[in-house]
Amino acid sequence: MGTDLLSFIIFLPAFVAFILMVTTTKVEDVRNIAFITTIITLVLVLKLYLNYDPESGMQFVINVPWILKYGINYYVGVDGFSLTVLMMIAILIPSAYLLLWDGRTKGYWINMLLVQTGVTGALLSLDIILFYFFWEMMLLPVFLMIGNFGTGDKIFTTIKVTVYTMFGSLLMFVAIIYLGVAYFNEFGLWSFQYSDLTQITNLTYAEEFWLFLAFLTAFAIKIPLFPFHTWIMDTYKNAPTGAVFLLSSIMAKLGIYAVVRFMIPLFPEIYIQFSSWFVFIGLFGLIYFGIAALMQDDIKRMFAYSSASHLSFIAAGIFSLNDYGVSGALYLVIAHAIATGALFLLIGILYHQTGYKTIKDLGGIAKQAPIFTFIFAIMLFANVGLPGTNGFVAELLIIFGIYQFNPIMGYVAAVTVLVAASFMLWMFQRAILQKREGPALKMRDLKIKEILGLAPWVILVILMGVYPDPFIDKFEPSVIHYLTDILKLGAAK
């Protein structure tokens, strides 16, 4: 196995999915096998995590030719960034299985497995065509999930989200080809490895700017950043719980990750030049989505907006050009994935039990389901960044980062975080705590399986909030490498 470890992690879920697709038909078997597969993947990722050396850059590299003619390779590797996100995905997905356990069909589980392959593949790709390959691949199972298991006007939603994200991807596709051609013209041979593409020097400023925008659009749609967010409302409302979980807590993070992985090295000058714009857009999104969330009555929609709000905050951190901001953003990527993932799944359970997910119809949950409320509260606190949770550490770092970047923006960021806190707690009070007879009586508390599924998340939230060093140590060398070696900035200035 050894060096092929990454390939096993990437392709194991898809391989199992194909086997399941053509063989067994019992839903329980499919689910159990899928679950075991994700556990095996998690074990493999843990093995990777333990063998990883934070100081030595890209590791576990596999580089085999795929399409020789264009120098496209199957080229994967892992560094601090991708390892952290990989770890997060590997833990979140199997736990999510436990919460989605009952009442799903065979296709649901197979799609979940396929998504996992797409996401990990995109995460670990170092060849930009390979990245595109997985980037598209992870969209298709979600397309099938929304269309098959969604509610409401699901067909329209499916087509909308597909065309929307496809549009971004194809813009990126043009940019990728353009870069490849530029490399070919300069060096006389084809390559799409991103480390090679960074060597290109013969692009004019205007060309670089447009390429930058093309990449950014693709990623901004996925994240989603203002003003590319219009697809999320329909989608989060009509999509099944699993798909919402995957979109919000896994795929959106890949958009952020891709900004760091591909855009910083490819366009360092433009990145620095326009960073203040993007910090501004990020902060604007934070406020805009925050206010929008405040006005929602549907809890799922509210979380959709609040999720978009936090993702804008992450984007602001990514563009803040210093160690605090970028590290904080990466930390928030994980914290946010855990918190929103859990919240969406909990809302899924709530809706499944009571049939309601609107704030004004709910209430009195706390009495019926204390454990549910307890975990809900922890995740909510992590989401709004209360001290002692990982959200606090991350938001603090980002605010520091933005403050260093521009003190006024720093103040704005610090104040606007309050918006998020206020609407979340208000919602919590009305929907969960306040006493009220009604649908809440039908609510049952979490089963032991679901508690087991959420336990690692709760532990992570607290652990990462109280003692963040071991987590930050894994990716900080990579962050500093990006800031000093690629962007030529002094780290932590």
Partner 1 sequence: MMEVMNILPVLIVLTGALVSMFLSMYDKFSMKYHIGVSVLFLVLALAFAVYPAGEIYAIQPFSDYFNDLLIFDTYSNFFTIALIVGALLVILIGEHYLQAHSFFKGEFLSILMFSLFGMILLANANELITAYIALEIASFAVYVMVGFNTQNPIRVEAVFKYLVLGSFIGAFYLLGVVLIFGATGTTQLTELTQYILSHSNGELTLVYIGLTLIIFTFFFKIAAFPFQSWVLDVYRGAPILVTAYMASVFKIAIFSFFLRAFLQSFPTLQDFWDPILTVLIVFTLTLGTWLAITQKIVKRMLAASSIVHTGYLLLAFIAVGENIESAYSIIFYLIAYLLTAIGSFGLVSHIIAQTKVRVTYDDFKGLAQERPFLAAMMTIFMFSLAGIPSTIGFIAKLYVFTEAINAGYIYLAIYAILATCVSVYYYFKLIAMMYFYPSNKELEEETFDDSRISTYAIALIAILIIWGGVGSALLFFMPIPSIDGIFELVQISVKSLFL
Instruction: Name the amino acid, one letter, at 60.
Output: F
Q: What are phi and psi of 11, to 5 degrees?
A: -95, -15
- Residue 58 or 62 having the CB closest to partner 1: 62
The token duo for 438 is 């009604």
- State the nearest-atom distance from the C-beta of 96 to partner 1, in Å: 23
**Secondary structure class of 369 (helix, strand, coil):** coil
- Residue 161 or 304 having the CB closest to partner 1: 161
Q: Is 174 in the site for partner 1 (CB under 8 A)?
A: yes
4-23 residues in contact with partner 1 (CB under 8 A) are 4, 7, 11
The 10 Å CB-count burial string (b at 16+, else e) for 111-128 is bbbbbbbbbbbbbbbbbb
Which residue carries 């605010």 as its tokens? Answer: 399
Torsional sign, CA 286, 287, 290, 292:
negative
DSSP string of 335-355?
HHHHHHHHHHHHHHHHHHHHS
**Secondary structure class of 25 (helix, strand, coil):** coil
Torsional sign, CA 126, 131, 137, 143:
positive
36-75 residues in contact with partner 1 (CB under 8 A) are 62, 64-70, 74
- State the nearest-atom distance from the C-beta of 373 to partner 1, in Å: 36
467-486 residues in contact with partner 1 (CB under 8 A) are none
- Cα(99)–Cα(345) distance, integer angstroms: 7
Q: Is 147 in the site for partner 1 (CB under 8 A)?
A: yes
The token duo for 8 is 């096993």
52, 143, 351, 374: which one contacts partner 1 (CB under 8 A)?
Answer: 143
- State the nearest-atom distance from the C-beta of 235 to partner 1, in Å: 15
- Residue 158 or 353 having the CB closest to partner 1: 158
Q: Cα angle at 352 between 140 and 254, to 5 degrees?
A: 35
Q: What is the DSSP letter of 188?
A: S
- Cα(139)–Cα(114) distance, integer angstroms: 10
- Residue 143 or 280 having the CB closest to partner 1: 143
Q: With contacts defined by CB under 8 A, name the span among 35-43, 156-164, 308-316, 408-416 that binds partner 1.
A: 156-164
- Residue 132 or 319 having the CB closest to partner 1: 132
CB atoms within 10 A of CB 406: 16
Burial of 481 (0-12, 13-18, 19+ CB in 10 A): middle
Q: Is 137 in the site for partner 1 (CB under 8 A)?
A: yes
Q: Applying CB under 8 A, what is the total number of residues that bind partner 1?
A: 42
Closest by CA to 321, choosing from 268, 369, 253, 361, is: 268
- State the nearest-atom distance from the C-beta of 60 to partner 1, in Å: 14
Which residue carries 């509610």 as its tokens? Answer: 151
- State the nearest-atom distance from the C-beta of 67 to partner 1, in Å: 6
Q: With contacts defined by CB under 8 A, name the span among 166-174, 222-230, 427-435, 482-490 that binds partner 1.
A: 166-174
- State the nearest-atom distance from the C-beta of 143 to partner 1, in Å: 7
- State the nearest-atom distance from the C-beta of 15 to partner 1, in Å: 8
Q: What are phi and psi of 303, to 5 degrees?
A: -65, -30
Q: Is 180 in the site for partner 1 (CB under 8 A)?
A: yes
- Residue 107 or 477 having the CB closest to partner 1: 107
- Residue 10 or 454 having the CB closest to partner 1: 10
68-107 residues in contact with partner 1 (CB under 8 A) are 68-70, 74
49, 52, 101, 167: which one contacts partner 1 (CB under 8 A)?
Answer: 167
- Residue 154 or 310 having the CB closest to partner 1: 154
Q: Is 184 in the site for partner 1 (CB under 8 A)?
A: yes
39, 40, 136, 233: which one contacts partner 1 (CB under 8 A)?
Answer: 136
- Residue 64 or 408 having the CB closest to partner 1: 64
- Residue 84 or 169 having the CB closest to partner 1: 169
Closest by CA to 136, choosing from 251, 56, 38, is: 251
181, 189, 452, 466: which one contacts partner 1 (CB under 8 A)?
Answer: 181
Query: How far apart, in Å, are the Cα atoms of 113 and each of 17, 341, 435?
Result: 6, 17, 41
Query: How far apart, in Å, are the Cα atoms of 296 and each of 293, 378, 420, 429?
Result: 5, 22, 13, 15
- Residue 185 or 429 having the CB closest to partner 1: 185
140, 270, 294, 377: which one contacts partner 1 (CB under 8 A)?
Answer: 140
Query: How far apart, in Å, are the Cα atoms of 141 and each of 112, 144, 149, 219?
Result: 7, 5, 12, 19
Q: With contacts defined by CB under 8 A, name the span among 148-156, 256-264, 331-339, 430-438 that binds partner 1.
A: 148-156
User: Do 234 and 156 touch, CB atoms closer than 8 A?
Assistant: yes
- Residue 183 or 313 having the CB closest to partner 1: 183
- Cα(365)–Cα(434) distance, integer angstroms: 8
- State the nearest-atom distance from the C-beta of 4 to partner 1, in Å: 6
- State the nearest-atom distance from the C-beta of 221 to partner 1, in Å: 12
- Cα(463)–Cα(455) distance, integer angstroms: 12
Q: Is 206 in the site for partner 1 (CB under 8 A)?
A: no
Q: Which residues contact 361 (CB under 8 A, 6 or more apart)?
A: 438, 439
Chain contacts with partner 1 (rule: CB under 8 A): 4, 7, 11, 62, 64-70, 74, 129-130, 132-134, 136-137, 140, 143-144, 147-148, 154-155, 158-159, 162-163, 166-167, 170-171, 173-174, 177-178, 180-181, 184-185
